[in-house]
């Protein structure tokens, strides 16, 4: 985390007028006795999973009874001045579930979102574990997705979210499985032993 971002979060916590710091009404931590001040604000903490997660049962630990284990990958490169991209979903046995060339100009991040959304849509109604090396797509699902939805899919500055159609498609796809575990823990070389060669730009003919 950068110093600028840390300062921003500290400001949200320490300078926000809606946040009140006070001793708990049930027990004074300094003397370990009940406090006599009955006018102190009561603490009513709740688990806000519906706000902090795109779905409450999204797992951050591996599912014990997977129906499928899939891997996603993307490739983005520039050839003859044009950015080209492709994406694929591969099963644990090495079979290609889906692959496609994406429209010219597709960025690597957009391709990552498309690949993950495609995997989740094809796993509709099943328990699936999906491995991706994309921290951007992983963060969209596990961290930022609920925040994006709460803000109306705009940035803090009020601008439209980058890759908005792909982000919305991915978040919608997250609702279609019985249960989902999404992970980025497999590094590229280890994962590719199972999924086959990564997509590479075609070699030019001499």
CATH number, residue 91: 3.30.420.10
**Is residue 206 in some structural domain?**
no
In a domain, 203, yes or no: no
Domain holding 83, by residue range, is 68-195
Domain presence at residue 53: no
pLDDT at 146 (0 to 100): 84
- pTM exceeding 0.85: no
Cα 201–115–87 angle (5° rounding)? 15
Contacts of 76 (CB under 8 A, 6+ apart): 83, 84, 85, 106, 107, 108, 111
In a domain, 62, yes or no: no
Note whether 160 and 122 are same-domain residues: yes
50 found inside a domain: no
pLDDT of residue 77: 92
- C-alpha–C-alpha distance, residues 32 and 50, integer Å: 34
| Half-sphere exposure in the Cβ direction for 133 (13 Å, CA) | 16
Same domain, 36 and 78: no
Residues 116 and 159 in one domain: yes
Among candidate residues 124, 175, 167, the one with its CA nearest the CA of residue 144: 167
Same domain, 3 and 35: yes
Measuring CA to CA, which residue among 168, 156, 178, 174 is closest to residue 67? 178
Q: Are 23 and 124 in the same domain?
A: no
| Mean pLDDT per 10-residue interval, the chain, length 206 residues | 70 69 62 61 52 69 81 92 95 94 95 95 89 89 85 88 95 81 51 35 41
User: How many domains does the chain fold into?
Assistant: 2
114 within a domain of the structure (yes/no): yes
- Please state whether 80 falls in left (phi above 0), alpha (psi between -120 and 50) or beta: left
Q: Is residue 157 part of a domain?
A: yes
52 within a domain of the structure (yes/no): no
């Amino acid at each position: 985390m950068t110093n600028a971002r840390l300062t921003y979060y500290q400001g949200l916590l320490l300078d926000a007028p809606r946040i009140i710091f006070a001793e708990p009404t049930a027990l004074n931590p300094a003397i370990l006795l009940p406090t006599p001040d009955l006018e102190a604000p009561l603490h009513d903490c709740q688990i806000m999973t519906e706000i902090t997660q795109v779905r409450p049962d999204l797992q951050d630990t591996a599912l014990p009874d997977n129906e499928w284990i899939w891997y996603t990958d993307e490739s983005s490169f520039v050839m003859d001045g044009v950015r080209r991209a492709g994406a694929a979903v591969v099963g644990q046995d090495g079979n290609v579930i889906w692959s496609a060339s994406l429209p010219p100009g597709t960025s690597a991040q957009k391709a990552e979102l498309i690949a993950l959304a495609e995997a989740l849509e094809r796993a509709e109604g099943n328990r699936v574990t999906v491995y991706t090396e994309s921290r951007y797509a992983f963060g969209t699902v596990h961290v930022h997705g609920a925040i994006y939805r709460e803000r109306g899919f705009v940035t803090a500055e009020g601008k439209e979210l980058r890759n908005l159609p792909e982000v919305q498609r991915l978040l919608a796809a997250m609702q279609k499985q019985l249960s989902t575990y999404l992970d980025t823990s497999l590094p590229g070389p280890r994962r590719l032993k199972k999924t086959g060669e990564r997509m590479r730009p075609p070699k030019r003919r001499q």
